[in-house]
Structure 1
């Protein structure tokens, strides 16, 4: 017989590689359960009381969750409460068994060393741990979170009286203009502005100066806001489908322009901010008065994100000016790195900037707008400002990359003077740190770990000195169950010089004598970095996928954040890049070291921005990536929300958008592609995926597509996860996946 049948070839592949079997699927399906309750003394979050002299935390033990109270002065640890016992007492007092027997940490508040407040079954309960008594308090009044969307409209010209600080006057909007009246006598109101109309109205967000002698607001342009329309095909409460709509602004859409105004009551003088200083606004922040009423400030983000400023209007002269002007030839990362702290009523300002190529802090003279000194400097980045102490003139912050011998993404805590002197490391261990400070920042809990090192929690003083040990997580049972820590791996990127960092995950039954296809889990959104740095037993479900017979990797390539500005700038007007040259170089280096990594069989998957990138891998790098699964991807940045896409792709909308579009480049598809989308995705417009499907059909490109009814922005839920696993097994392993009822 000259040719073997497909079935025989598939059976041969399954026999040869022994991967993608029913046993593998069963092991993957049971892995999460198998690893549950295998970690001893795993700390959760830490919560200080209001006074700052006590704190509590939750920890996972082999028996379940425990709640621990710590007295730092006495250096004692005690049980805060037994949740099972508390629920039993609540049942007894209510005369019924409550169904929800789970409590989140935000429902717990430490009152003092003896008492804790618990929000259970709609009531606030006080547990006294000394007397073991539970008393019922008032109804808790928990409310559902109100979802809002960027660009969502609000009624800014509705009638609303705004009282002056001295309570003598009220200001309000009538017929789109500002009126002023003595309190209680609005019938004799005085009109302040006269040019307001329905198309350009004055906002009711009126801000009085603290001295009650002046007020400010903004004149706002009314615009039509784009609507995102979604069809709910299978609603639970009716047979017929429903239509849902959202305010949803997209790149290139018109944005409302605002113009601040200042009114001086004593001089009866109206001053208008100089509009030439604030053209093409992406947004203006709220107006904020100085305590001494000398001026108000606001922040101005010019559309295109290459100019960002702190603006000021002098209350005495009515003059307009830039107080701080930040400029960049690519983009200012306003959504991730902007920081401003005004000190001494704005006499000084702490400001974050990447102007020297790294994210650092600067101290400004808040009167002259001149830089007094750079606070932090070096080839490393400030990640987050924890606290600025104006009296002691110090800053506590998170930083990464200071120690060149470490993974540059590992977060440490530091203190430094506002004069830029005395940089002090507060957390020395080579790990990713998370700190929880008390009220006066004299002490903090430090939990540190790496992906290959379980967490350790300690209490430190303000200088980082150890006060007491709290928890040391034991992962021996986890390892005995077959779990192996991800391997941290670094290799040179596209330039042959820059270190690229990632992790490698292997199956529990890993055999170095076998050959394993490689699957990359990608999220290349420029707003952060994404490879996990702290200890997780199963980061992003990658272990289950590895169990089927794969090596699974995750990598932070160029174009992502938390490195140098040059590293980040790779994404600018170029989201299709997604760091792929670095990712490919990284996997090639890993495969040279580990011969069992078969980079002739590489798959990729991702969600949201990762959905865009995983499809882009097959369009722009088909020589390397062979199989892709993309969930709710932003397949054309012109179709997605404005704030995220104009931040990286720029404005006006130029040809770069089409160049990065998966839809425009659909005809380039090679390999096997599965697209998944939820019909109710209100984060990324699902029409982006529908249009990609349409383009692939018109280009006569074979692909697979799943639309999940009733689902929002997600990876497809359990159904999508199963289909993703099957897709890689079929197209990378060459094995027909087993029927779902077989495991």
Structure 2
């Protein structure tokens, strides 16, 4: 029998099955629910905020007095609708500012901001503030032009402060390897501006300069040039690769903005470099700043003498995975408290991630929180209290669910006055601010204005939900008293199509003792009496939380994107956070450290086998796995380290292999390479570090048994395509037959594309279920948007 005859005999997927899966596409699901997440927009220095209240057929904008809970329309919807020529019940307003009787709005789909006159409704354009300018206390702005630093006053007059900037050695410019260098090449966009910190009197600024002239220029080949040229184009991105001697060297200066005179900041020990997103001027002609190593194995709080540039290390701490928040992309859990002369610090030093307080004068350290539970995000600090989210405090609860707590800064010991302000057994979402962002509009950090807690710290908006509990949004005060209900989700649109909640599970790791939590997503036609193949969606590195906690994350979480549609094609889909991930204890985080099985694939297998004991519908003879980026690496390693369990893998943009990747990610996930005697620098271009060879899929290529699809975008600046091709070469030399999908002109962020998702569905339908997909059948949905952390 020929292969074609065998294919023809397989059951075929009907077009109606794709239509059912499309009905659960992320944007379709989001369109069927209201008020899944409410983020208040606080007015500057006020306990008032506006928010968008959603109804199934319309929405409105309300202004709320947090003290009383009183609400009223945020503006005259009819007048604004007439001014914008829009439907008053569906106004596409993205941002809103009050300016006397006028309002200034940003409208979805339109460039710039619009001022709408409160008297006659006249609309005028408002120039956007320069997003790459740093505004000082007097209104002057620092900005970068052609690699040099300039200043602009309130009258728009400009003056050059430096004249020695050059490419790859510019003033206040972000690093070349910012994951969008190729995009900047195409548009001619300059590097982002970072790290300008004004003195309180507006006379000086702490400013960085990044020297990347000796850093490796990594080549990327644009095979389908965007300008139509028939010849490929080469783009170079400067970043340190594993084993390189040269890395970006950050220099810091205190600059007099009236004369341009500069003071050089001294060097730090332990290869520490000042971080370009956290620095605070004190009242004593000094600057408090944070510093870390490129490998993220050491961090410090330092003091800089602005007059001399001398640096004093106030507190230094080593940890092979040191971050000032457990999770990447979240703002650091550090706050400068000028009135107290203290700095709140974050550390696993006690065995769990907790808050500490550093006395800046003496460097002494005292613990603010303690216990067998995990601090997650530091939300706000007022004169007396620190407010933070934490998980695992209440016995018996899912340790990943967030609750808001308050602790007294003046207590005699850890947990002084510790109080839970959100008692419900649910997730209380306080969306974090992405790390390093700065609101230059009002000159304060954005958590002051787009946080669930008011600028004063007296009130907060509580988004209460779970993956299996529809959201209710409450307004509460800083003592936890409920002022009133703001909104309630309407999920009738989801229930009307038979959508079902994800199921939360608790399982055991390979040691038989450690708890693993995760979720299962099932198709709408699921029946316990039937047998269903199992797919795992995996991520797994030590600094990201993968599983969903809130209802919104359960619909469209960062790593759950598209899983409801995938399950609808006839699978039970599992997503979990196994040992090696954050938000638990240090021991849990470090269980896989130093092992070839760095992402703990054996624990993922053990958890699936454990939950299958009480779920006989799970067919463990048909198991597949998929993941993107670090999840792509985990997928490949699962296929190689547990080949008798995972039969089919779909790995996109895998970070392969550690030895051929850029250092920032690899060293944070795997530690520094050791080429012998602790040496972390290669002597020859082909020298390999033995500890990294243990982590490389190339080492295990001969163990592949099942079907493996490898997907990559040829312009992926996060996971280098040549590293993947080198792994393909290892598979070919081992006599293996991988499948390969190349996505031309794609960077790292193609997973929301319908084409990609359709290929993912079809691969598992064909090789796990043994059915014939409907080929050349484009989906009728449009590109979705992955929800980032909530």
Structure 2 length-normalised TM: 0.76
What is residue 444 of structure 2 aligned with on the other side? none
Measured after TM superposition, the shift of residue 353 of structure 1 is 1.2
Distance 1:104 1:615, change over 3 A: farther
Aligned residue number for residue 674 of structure 1: 709
Provide Cα deviations, 1:10-50, integer angstroms capped at 9, x if missing partner. Answer: 78874xxxx95443233113333864643345444321222
Q: Report which stretch shifted further, 629-638 or 213-222.
A: 213-222
1:130-162 Cα deviation digits (max 9, x unpaired): x7x52213334377899xxxxxxx999968799
Which of 397, 409, 429 aligns to 2:424? It is 429
1:572 positional shift: 3.1
Q: Is contact 1:681-1:711 (8 Å) kept?
A: yes
* Separation in structure 1 between the aligned mates of residue 469 and residue 519 of structure 2, nearest angstrom: 14
Q: 2:429 touches 2:550 (CA, 8 Å); kept in 1?
A: no
Residue in 2 that maps onto 1:109? 97
Q: Is the 8 A contact 1:677 1:707 kept in 2?
A: yes
Greater C-alpha radius of gyration: 1
**Equivalent runs, 1:35-434 vs 2, <5 Å:** 35=29, 37-73=31-67, 75-80=69-74, 86=80, 88-91=82-85, 103=92, 105=94, 107-110=95-98, 116-120=103-107, 121-122=110-111, 124-126=113-115, 134-141=121-128, 223-240=213-230, 241-253=232-244, 254-257=246-249, 278-281=269-272, 291-293=282-284, 295-302=286-293, 304-312=295-303, 321-328=312-319, 330-334=320-324, 336=326, 339-344=333-338, 347-371=341-365, 373-389=366-382, 392-418=383-409, 419=411, 420=414, 421-434=416-429
| CA 1:281–1:157: 2 relative to 1, 3 Å | farther
- Answer yes or no: is 1:505 the counterpart of 2:521: yes
Distance 2:67 2:21 in 1: 47
Matches within 5 A, 1:487-506: 487-506=503-522
* 1:724 paired to 2:760: yes
Residues 634-660 of structure 1: per-residue CA shift (max 9 Å, x gap): 011233332222112222454222211
Instruction: Indicate conservation of the 8 Å contact 2:325/2:377, yes or no.
Output: no
Residue 674 of structure 1: how far off its partner (Å): 0.6
Using the TM superposition, give the Cα deviation of residue 622 of structure 1 relative to its aligned residue in structure 2, in angstroms.
Answer: 0.5
Q: CA deviation at 1:737?
A: 1.3
2:22 maps to which of 12, 26, 29: 29
State the alpha-carbon separation in 2 of the partners of residues 740 and 297 from structure 1: 59
- Listed as ranges, the matches of 1:536-555 within 5 Å are 536=552, 537-538=555-556, 539-555=560-576
> C-alpha separation between the residues in 2 aligned to 1:378 and 1:393?
21
Contact 1:228 1:685 in 2 (8 A): no
Cα distance in 2, alignment partners of residues 497 and 175 from structure 1 = 57
Out of 243-252 and 338-347, give the one that drifted further.
338-347
Deviations 1:327-369 (A, max 9, x none): 23x3323574754333336732221111111111112221111
Cα distance in 1 between the residues matched to 2:393 and 2:82: 51
Q: 5 Å matches for 1:519-558?
A: 519-536=535-552, 537-538=555-556, 539-558=560-579
Alpha-carbon displacement from aligned partner over 1:54-89 (angstroms, at most 9, x marks no partner)? 322224422144333334455444444687974553
Whether contact under 8 Å (1:261, 1:272) holds in the other structure is: yes
Conserved? CA contact 2:216–2:238, under 8 Å: yes
CA–CA distance in structure 2, aligned partners of residues 222 and 37 of structure 1: 46
Q: Report the counterpart of residue 733 of structure 1 in structure 2.
A: 769
- Distance change in 2, residues 1:218/1:406 (3 Å): closer
Distance 1:490 1:128, change over 3 A: farther
1:637 is aligned, of 658, 663, 687, to: 658
**Equivalent residue, structure 1, for 2:613:** 592
Q: Distance in 2 between matches of 1:473 and 1:393?
A: 34
Give the structure 2 partner of residue 456 of structure 1. 472
Q: Within 2, Cα distance between the matches of 1:239 and 1:84?
A: 50
- Does the Cα contact within 8 Å between 2:334 and 2:345 map onto a contact in 1? yes
Corresponding position: 1:655 with 2:690: yes
Q: Which residue of 2 aligns with 1:688?
A: 723
Cα distance change, pair 144–664 in 1 and its aligned pair in 2 (3 A): farther
Residues in 1 aligned to 2:489 and 2:238: alpha-carbon distance in whole angstroms: 46
Does the C-alpha gap of structure 1 residues 322 and 37 become closer, same or farther in structure 2, counting only changes over 3 Å? closer
Residues 125 and 136 in structure 1, CA contact (< 8 A), matched pair in contact too: yes
For the structure 1 residues 281 and 375, does the alpha-carbon distance in structure 2 shift closer, same or farther, using more than 3 Å as the test?
Answer: closer
User: Quick one: which of 459, 465, 483 aligns to 1:443?
Assistant: 459
- Closer/same/farther in 2, CA of residues 346 and 218 from structure 1, 3 Å limit: farther
Higher relative contact order structure (alpha carbons within 8 Å, sequence separation ≥ 6) = 2
Bigger shift: residues 28-37 or 398-407: 28-37
Q: Deviations over 1:96-118 (max 9, x none)?
A: x9xxx98463x323557x76422
User: Does the Cα contact within 8 Å between 2:533 and 2:622 map onto a contact in 1?
Assistant: yes
Whole-Å Cα distance in 1 between the matches of residues 309 and 28 of structure 2? 69
For the residues of structure 2 that align with 1:377 and 1:292, how far apart are their CA atoms? 32
Mark the CA change 1:317 to 1:615 in structure 2 (over 3 Å): closer, same or farther: closer
Residues in 1 aligned to 2:165 and 2:531: alpha-carbon distance in whole angstroms: 74
Q: Is 1:632–1:677's contact at 8 Å kept on the other side of the alignment?
A: yes
Distance 1:159 1:123 in 2: 25
Identify the range of structure 1 (335-344 vs 362-371) with the bigger mean alpha-carbon deviation: 335-344
CA shift for structure 1 position 718: 2.0
CA–CA separation in structure 1 for the residues paired with 2:250 and 2:289 = 12
- Alpha-carbon offset, residue 206 of structure 1: 10
Asked if 2 retains the 8 angstrom alpha-carbon contact of 1:559 and 1:567, the reply is: yes
Partner secondary structure for residue 422 of structure 1: coil
**Which deviates further from its counterpart, 205-214 or 419-428?**
205-214
Residues 139 and 413 of structure 1: CA distance in aligned 2, closer, same or farther (over 3 Å): same
Rounded Cα–Cα distance in structure 1 between residues aligned with 2:306 and 2:491? 62
Task: Assess if the C-alpha contact under 8 Å between 1:210 and 1:289 holds in 2.
Answer: no
Distance (whole Å) between structure 2 residues aligned to residue 703 and residue 592 of structure 1: 32
Who is 2:629 aligned against? 608
Q: Is this contact kept in 1: 2:601–2:641, CA < 8 A?
A: no
- Give the CA RMSD over aligned residues: 4.0
Q: Does the aligned pair in 2 maintain the 1:678–1:713 contact within 8 Å?
A: yes
Is 1:518 matched with 2:534?
Answer: yes
Distance 1:64 1:235, change over 3 A: farther
Residues 122 and 141, structure 1, Cα contact 8 Å, conserved in 2: no
Moved more, 346-355 or 392-401: 346-355
Per-residue CA shift, 1:280-303, capped at 9, x if unaligned?
Answer: 346666896853446555444245
CA offset at residue 397 of structure 1? 1.1
